[in-house]
Chain A
Amino acid sequence: MGSKTKNLSLDTTIYPLEAILNASFLFLDRFYIFLKRGKHKHILKVSLTLKRTLPKKKYIGLSNEFFNAILQSSLRYFVSKRNKKIRDYIVNRALYSALPLSDSFDSQGEGLDYRKDPLGIAVPWEEKYGKQKKNMQSRV
């Protein structure tokens, strides 16, 4: 692949594949990147070829930056894996509270008429308690 190509071997038990893909994606504008499996299943070979638009001097610095990017992506991956449960819970809660009221709540009022007034809400206070007050006064 030319003199500006650097081959790296990465252990996927240390750096997860998702993290390597993430870091590679970040460097797509500066390198031509190709990934393949090594002899062992957990070894991933990464070949980095510097794009011609960039000066050769930058090559070493950039490839070292790539290592750092893999480490950073790995950390992000592990943190997101650890927080998955709580993240799911928060999203579920947010979505659930945005739902409209359930049908069962509406069905409780089916067949009722506002004119029937079974709880006696529409009855004036004087009608409801006026008689009791008169009785109380007469007792006194």
Chain B
Amino acid sequence: MASKRKTCNLGFDFTIYKKIAVSRAIEAFRDFASFKVRYTNKKAMVKIEYTPPDSSDIIHHEFANYVLGLTKQCL
């Protein structure tokens, strides 16, 4: 049975995360999910859509971790 498509919204505050980290992470995860991004002055609103393979629905978590890792590297 095919899994349902999962949608998740994440807001990355630019006082915590770097804008370049968000855009690079989207570039890296492009093959695993589809993204819609809306940038404002204060944050990036990222809408992630993907079909979870089997019982796993962790791509949005992995994405958030990846942005955090890139932000740390930018410091």
Residues in A lying within 8 Å of B, measured CB to CB: 1, 17-18, 21-22, 24-25, 28, 32-37, 44, 49, 52
Interface size on B, residues (CB 8 A): 16
A-chain residues with CB within 8 Å of residue B69 when the two chains form the complex: 25, 28
Answer whether residue B30 sits at the interface, using C-beta atoms and an 8 A cutoff.
Answer: no
Are A32 and B13 in touch, CB under 8 angstroms? no
Residues in B lying within 8 Å of A, measured CB to CB: 10-11, 13, 15-17, 58, 61-62, 64-65, 68-69, 71-72, 75
Are B64 and A32 in touch, CB under 8 angstroms? yes
- A sample of 14 more A-B contacts (CB under 8 A), given A17-B15, A21-B68, A24-B72, is A18-B75, A21-B71, A22-B72, A28-B65, A28-B68, A33-B64, A35-B13, A36-B13, A36-B16, A37-B13, A37-B15, A37-B16, A44-B16, A49-B61
**Given A21-B75, A49-B61: A33 touches B15 (CB 8 Å cut-off):** no
